[in-house]
Amino acid sequence: METLDILIFGAHPDDAEIGMGGTIAKHTAAGLRVGICDLTLAEMSSNGTVESRKKEAEAAAEVLKLAMRSNLEMPDRGLYLTPEHVERIVLEIRKWKPRLVFAPYWEDRHPDHIACSKLVQEAVFNAKLRRYMPEVPAHTVGESYFYFINDIVEPGVMVNVTDVYEQKTAALRAYRTQFEAVGNDAVQTPLTQGYLERVEARDKLLGQKRSLPFAEGFISKLPYLTEQF
Ligand SMILES: [Zn+2]
């Protein structure tokens, strides 16, 4: 089985697209193998169904040309820091052996995003321990980065996503049941009330410091390492 260059974790299908859809599009266009692992099916979302969300996630994966998209089907609103949840994420990391792992930024108004961030950090650490689940070979992730969903802080790294911004928008628009109140039983939520416009405004604002039309921001817990500038 082919490995991945980049493995991105999200609590819900659409998290990775919100935070880094443009960065994904740039890397897949450059020939890198990028995958997304969603921890839950987002069954607690007020709009849409698990089935519609699955189809939307597949459509977004096609837009972004993902090499892989998986779902661990953990309980939505039940992403507690348990040994079992950590183990399942470790297995996913060891299976795909990514050089880079991305997770949601560790502060966010949605507790599941915080939980996902924490679980992935624990799993990245454990994945390299050969005596942790010794039946599956250990894997050391090169670097971990965090992307923004709702909350933002000053990014440490940014990616110029101007030339792929339409692809990001198309990937997000794939989640129609989330961002538009479609159907008779749909209700208004923070997502249906201009959420995508806010994401676009955020990406514009992030670009401002570098005079870029659009950028996505990332943060790392470790300093950026280089041999030479
Ligand atoms: Zn989410």
Q: What tens digit of pLDDT does each residue of 117-157 get? A: 999 999 999 999 999 999 999 999 999 999 999 999 999 99
For residue 193, what pLDDT is reported?
A: 84
CATH number at 31 reads 3.40.50.10320
Please choose, from the candidates 120, 46, 108, 103, the residue with its C-alpha nearest in 3D space to the C-alpha of residue 76.
46
Whether residue 124 lies inside any domain: the answer is yes
Whether residue 209 lies inside any domain: the answer is yes
Per-residue pLDDT for 228 more than 80?
yes
Domain total in the chain: 1
Cβ neighbors of 65 (< 8 A, separation 6 or more) are: 25, 28, 29, 34
Distance 227 CA to ligand 1 centre (A): 36
pLDDT level of residue 62 (50, 70, 90 thresholds)? very high
Distance 67 CA to ligand 1 centre (A): 21
∠ at Cα 13 (194, 93), nearest 5°? 140
Distance 228 CA to ligand 1 centre (A): 37
Whether residue 224 lies inside any domain: the answer is no
Distance 135 CA to ligand 1 centre (A): 32
pLDDT level of residue 48 (50, 70, 90 thresholds)? confident
For residue 189, what pLDDT is reported?
A: 86
Distance 17 CA to ligand 1 centre (A): 10
Distance 191 CA to ligand 1 centre (A): 10
Whether residue 228 lies inside any domain: the answer is no
Please choose, from the candidates 70, 57, 79, 68, the residue with its C-alpha nearest in 3D space to the C-alpha of residue 11.
79
For residue 71, what pLDDT is reported?
A: 97
Distance 211 CA to ligand 1 centre (A): 29
pLDDT level of residue 181 (50, 70, 90 thresholds)? confident
For residue 1, what pLDDT is reported?
A: 77
Whether residue 225 lies inside any domain: the answer is no
Domain boundaries, position 147: 6-219
Q: What is the mean pLDDT of residues 17-32?
A: 98
Instruction: Please tell me the pTM assigned to this model.
Output: 0.96
pLDDT level of residue 178 (50, 70, 90 thresholds)? confident
